[in-house]
Each structure stands twice: as C-alpha cells, then as structure tokens.
Amino acid sequence: MTLNRQWLLKARPHGMIGPDNFEYTETPIPQIGDGEVLVKNQYLSFDPTQRNWMVDRPGYLPPVGIGEVMRAGSVAEVVESKHPDFKPGEQVQTTGCWQDFAVVAPGQGPMGVNKLPPGVSPEMMLSILGITGMTAYFGLLDHGQPEDGETVLVSGAAGATGSVVGQIAKLKGCRTIGIAGGEKKCAWLTDVAKFDGAIDYKSEDVSERIGALCPNKWDIFFDNVAGPILEAALNHLNLYSRVVMCGGIANYNNIEPVPGPNNLMNIVTNRGRMQGFIILDYLPRAMEAIEALVGWVSAGDIVYEVDIQEGFDNIPSTLQRLYTGENFGKQLLRI
Amino acid sequence: MTLNRQWLLKARPHGMIGPDNFEYTETPIPQIGDGEVLVKNQYLSFDPTQRNWMVDRPGYLPPVGIGEVMRAGSVAEVVESKHPDFKPGEQVQTTGCWQDFAVVAPGQGPMGVNKLPPGVSPEMMLSILGITGMTAYFGLLDHGQPEDGETVLVSGAAGATGSVVGQIAKLKGCRTIGIAGGEKKCAWLTDVAKFDGAIDYKSEDVSERIGALCPNKWDIFFDNVAGPILEAALNHLNLYSRVVMCGGIANYNNIEPVPGPNNLMNIVTNRGRMQGFIILDYLPRAMEAIEALVGWVSAGDIVYEVDIQEGFDNIPSTLQRLYTGENFGKQLLRI
C-alpha cells in the first residue's frame, strides 16, 4: 500500500532554520469527501515567507502548528475528484504542503485550487505566474506607481520577485538598479535581466554604490530584504519617493529583533511613503497579472530563472537555500 | 540710534542644543528696497523642526549658516513698506527670525508674509492657525484619512500639533488616545482636550498601555516623536493602518543616529502605510485649514494652549524647552 510521505513542523525555529525543525513521517493516503479533490504534489514552491509561517505569532496567516504538515504552495496532479470542476490527470496549482498527497478544494486554504492555464508549465506557474511574479506585478504597479524616467531600486533583485520587479519597471520606462549577493547574480542582473546597474552587497559599500548608480536618487525602492540595506537605501531617496515593503529576509532568521533603519526621518523630510502589502489580498485580481506577465514573457521582455532541486528527502534543506542566498532564481523542488 | 538685536547661529549643535549654539549681536536696522517691507517682530514661534535647520545636512529647507540669524516664524508689525499691499501698523505673519527687525516680501522665504485675518490674535495665528495647527489638519486628514469609528493614536499629544490632531480626529468620530510626558499633560488631554485616553510615557509601559487602551488596535498613528514610542506603537497596528510621520523629536538632539523600530515588518503583515510630509507643501491650501480651524475653535470644539515666554534675552533658552518637554502647549515668546 502506498503511503503519504510528509514533512511535519517539529520545532519552531530559533535562529536559522534547518533540518531539525522538521520531522519525516508516513501516513495513510487521505480520503476525500464531497466537493474535495485528492492531488499528488509534483513541484513545491519555496518562499521566504514560509519562515514566518513557522513562528507562533500573529501574522497574515495562522502559524503552522507543531506536528502539522509544513505549508507550501505546489503544482500537483489530480488523482481523485469529488468536485465537478476537476478530473484525474489535470494539473493544478494549490497549497499542497510538504507531502505527496493533499486534499484540496476550491476556495479552501490561502490559494484555493486552480487549473494550470493551457501551455503553462509547472515551473512557470510557480515562478513568474505564481506568488512571486504577482507580488512583483502588484507591488510595483499598485504601490510603487512607476512613472517614465523614474529610478527604481530593488533589493533581493536576483530573486524571483525582485528580478521581475526590475524588468517590469524597465518596461515602464524606469532606470533600474538591483542589489544582490555575489558576482554571478549581479552579472545576471545587468547581462540577462537588463538592469541598468547592479550592486553586490557582499563586496560593495551599498550606500555609496546607490549614490553612484542613482545620480538623481531613487523614486521607488522595492524592498525584499530590510535590515542594513533598507538603511543604506534611505540615504538616497528622492522627494515623494515610495518604499514598497515586500519582505525582510535579512531578518527572518534572527533570534532577537533587530533594530530598524536609523534614518527614517529621511522619509519625513522627503515626503516619502512606505507601504506594506500582502499578495494574498490581490488573488482576486490574479488574472490581470497573469495576462500581463504571459504577454511580456512571450514577447521576450521578461526573463526568469528557476532553481529546481530534486527529491522528497531534500525538501527541508531546499528551504534553507533561500536564507543563505544559495538559490539562483525561483526556488522549486521536483518531488 | 536704535539697533537691531539678533541671535545668530554660532555653532552647530552636538547633542542637546543650548545657549552656546547662539551668539548675541546688534546690527544696524536694515534698509528696504522696492517691493519689500520692514517689520518689527512681536512674537516668535518655536518649533521642534528648528533643530533640524541648525544642522548642515540636506533637508526640506537649506540649513541656517553659521553667523546667520536663526530662522523662526513670527508675528510682526509693519514699520515701513515699499510694497503696495502693506502699510505701517499692520500685523503680519512671516519668517521674521530671531531679531527685532526683518526685511520681508510676499513670496519670499518659506512662508512669505501674510496679514493677520481680522479678529485673529498673534497667539492664535502662531499656534492653532499657524504651522502646528495646519500640520495637524493636513497630516491627519490628507494622510491619516480618519474614518468614523477608527482609533487614532497620537504621540506628542499635548503638543501644539498633537493636541489638535486628537481633537480633529474626535470631530471625525474617532476614538483618540494620546501619549504625553507627565501627569499634568495627560490630565489635560483627557479633561480638557477630551481625548478618550492618555498614556504617560514617563511613568508607564507605553506598549502595554496602547494595548490596553486600543482594544481594537489603532488605525492611525500620528507620530511626532519616533524613537521607542514608534516601536511601541507598531506592536499594535490594525490592518490597513496609517502612520502619519510628522516628526521625530525624540531623536533630534541625539549625537549618533539612533536605530529605528525593530518591528517594521508589522507594517508589511498588516498592509500598513507610513507617510512622511512637510507642511510647507500645503501652504497654498492654508485657507482651507484656517477656515475649518477657526470654525471649530469658535464653536468650542477645539481648545489649544499657548506657553508664552518673555524677553529677547530668553530666546535661546526658550527653544530648548521644546526638547526637554517643559513647554505646555504651543511655545511662543513675546519680545
């Protein structure tokens, strides 16, 4: 009899997450009820915010409980269906979590369950058309509100969200500067993703380089990182500039809360705005983003990278790659 | 022959400002040219932002130069006029600076020069109808966007801006909680200015008290203070809340930059917004605020306090009162 392999949350993280936070188990394949669908995960999505779901504090989603299957987005194949809209063999995108088999249903869970549009691969669905691509699209356009000729600075710029932010900004007529870790990522930003400039935070003085690469300062800072890079950025904001606060991966694995930027007053004197947002609020508008992104990708105007790891056993260690910066492009795992 | 007494900026501040930052001098009364007006200052306005003008770094106004007369708003009497709109004996509001006599002209300087409306006293012009009252009006209404039933938290709540913020918020149907220093100010907030609650940051745990007094969290935080009070506030923000970033008096006299709040990520998870603004941008809309504020004051819906010091010699020490919190209400000085 086939069992359902699962990775459960075993212990809440204290500092950098690691394999000890998770526990492997095997359970019977679940039964479905009316209106439900049994799916078998094929690809898992890895997202920095998963670290936040592991912590027992109020967030935009309830924390994963100790002993519960770790939450994750996935692309899966329908195995059995008691819902009229789904048939075995169809590929869907859902919150399948770290397990082989999941019971899902439309309207349930943070993402519900949605069929992959024709011609869309799992890799595409979980990256450029998934949460990270939509985060870039809505964060930049709704909150950054780029105007032709403005300068857009992006942290985590080689990541799945940041790289798309910069490329959309470029399409909107902006000058784009990306901050990333390491020569390889920086070279990719300027050579492949066509950013106007790249800053390697591992080897360069970020504030000084922002000053050099943004002679007119920046109008939009799309921040995936927070921490010292946010502080460096706030030395160079233009009048009426916007900080799109997307995430703070620099701090997610800290044990103690880390002080914020010491120059927030620059926001006041420059009449700036810092706007936080959560992509789940935008899911009702998902088709708007998907249509635009498919168009840009088809036209060759936006490129994206996926970093695909393999194997059920490697799920916990793959999550860790996000926080060490080992991943190059959207982190996925093929089960 | 009468001379023009002046207080010049002698040394840029390092830590808490004090009398040593200024130097007394006497100079000839200046001559006016065509289109100019000679005025004699009667009342000086003291504002926390003056500390920022003394520092040589980019700001929303050029810094006061060493050896220049210290910049300040004032109400003054026209002594001589070569401008058709002004006659000797008229009272005007302008940027008269720390001196007896100033040469001013319409459209010149950060505030230009404007006659006092009929029936408006100098005290009223420099407080509720001046920069501090307008800051409250536009900051709260344009950026806070209060809705009936929301909770509005105000820091520096007994100050000239904060006290007006809370009272306008109340008129808009909000629950209002003020943070101030000391029993006297807190009692004034609830007894006189009719705040729904007050927190004494000198004797109470601010975060805990915000939690207790804002059972539904806060929707708007009008922040005049920054520093640890901002951090405490960010523990209790509601979904889609707004921080109106007005000032950071807690930090103005620090020698080294002070770390910011360690919980900015709460802005992200709660889809919050932090908005900086500078009141000078709103001067073209001044009449809108003045008409509304005059109406509310006349109806007894808004009360305000002024703290009037006396004498030219006491000008530097009066500025210091703002940062020690000694002032009670809008700080003015009658020359």
Q: Alpha-carbon distance A265 to A287, whole Å? A: 38
If you average pLDDT over every residue of chain B, what do you get? 94
Q: Please state the rounded mean pLDDT for residues A129-146.
A: 96
Q: Is it the case that residue B298 has pLDDT exceeding 70?
A: yes
Which pLDDT does position A261 carry in this prediction?
94
Residue B303: CB partners within 8 Å, gap ≥ 6?
Answer: B163, B167, B192, B193, B297
CATH code reported for the domain at B131-280: 3.40.50.720
Q: Which residue has the higher pLDDT, B6 or B254?
A: B6
Chain B residues closer than 8 Å to A60 by CB: 269-270
Numbered ranges of CATH 3.40.50.720 in chain A:
132-280
- The residues pairing with B310 across neighbouring beta strands, listed in sequence order, are B334
Percent of chain B with pLDDT over 70: 100
- 8 A C-beta contact, residue A316 and residue A18: yes
Interior CA angle at B64 toward B60 and B69, to 5°?
135
Q: Please state the rounded mean pLDDT for residues B47-62.
A: 88
Q: In what order do the strands lie in the sheet with A237-245?
A: A197-200, A175-180, A151-155, A218-223, A237-245, A273-276, B273-276, B237-245, B218-223, B151-155, B175-180, B197-200
Q: Is it the case that residue A177 has pLDDT exceeding 70?
A: yes
Report the run of H or E that residue A292 belongs to, with start and end: helix A286-298
At B2, is the pLDDT very low, low, confident or very high (cuts 50, 70, 90)?
confident
| Residue of chain B minimizing CA distance to A257 | B262
Chain A residues closer than 8 Å to B277 by CB: 268, 271
Chain A residues closer than 8 Å to B236 by CB: none
Which pLDDT does position A1 carry in this prediction?
58
Question: Which of A264, A277, A282 best tests the B interface by mutation, with the highest count of B CBs <10 A?
Answer: A264
Helix H segments across A76-205? 122-125, 131-138, 162-171, 183-191
Q: Is it the case that residue B248 has pLDDT exceeding 90?
A: no
pLDDT tens digits, A186-233? 999 999 999 999 999 999 999 999 999 999 999 999 999 999 999 999
Q: How many CB pairs lie under 8 A apart between chains A and B?
A: 100
pLDDT tens digits, B268-295? 999 999 999 999 899 889 989 999 999 9
Name the CATH topology of A3-127+304-334: Quinone Oxidoreductase; Chain A, domain 1 (3.90.180)
| Residue of chain A minimizing CA distance to B58 | A269
Q: What is the ipTM of this complex?
A: 0.89
Which pLDDT does position A23 carry in this prediction?
97
- Put simply, the answer to whether B276 touches A270 (Cβ < 8 Å) is yes
Q: Is it the case that residue A253 has pLDDT exceeding 80?
A: no
Q: Please state the rounded mean pLDDT for residues B14-20.
A: 88
Numbered residues of chain A with Cβ closer than 8 Å to any chain B Cβ? 52, 58-60, 226, 230-231, 245-248, 251, 257-265, 267-278, 281
Q: Alpha-carbon distance B220 to A251, whole Å? A: 26
Numbered ranges of CATH 3.90.180.10 in chain A:
3-127+304-334
Which pLDDT does position B1 carry in this prediction?
58
- Put simply, the answer to whether B277 touches A268 (Cβ < 8 Å) is yes
Chain B residues closer than 8 Å to A246 by CB: 268
If you average pLDDT over every residue of chain A, what do you get? 94
- 8 A C-beta contact, residue B55 and residue B12: yes
- Put simply, the answer to whether A271 touches B248 (Cβ < 8 Å) is no
pLDDT tens digits, A98-125? 999 999 999 998 888 999 988 899 999 9
DSSP 3-state assignment of A228?
helix
pLDDT tens digits, A39-74? 999 999 999 889 989 998 877 889 999 999 999 999
Question: Which of A143, A225, A265 best tests the B interface by mutation, with the highest count of B CBs <10 A?
Answer: A265
pLDDT tens digits, A242-252? 999 998 877 77
- 8 A C-beta contact, residue B192 and residue B262: no
Decide which of 3.40.50.720, 3.40.50.300, 3.20.20.140, 3.40.50.12780 is the CATH code for A132-280.
3.40.50.720
Q: What is the DSSP letter of A123?
A: H
Which pLDDT does position B57 carry in this prediction?
82
pLDDT tens digits, B186-216? 999 999 999 999 999 999 999 999 999 999 9
pLDDT tens digits, B218-245? 999 999 999 999 999 999 999 999 999 9
Question: Which of A135, A145, A274 best tests the B interface by mutation, with the highest count of B CBs <10 A?
Answer: A274
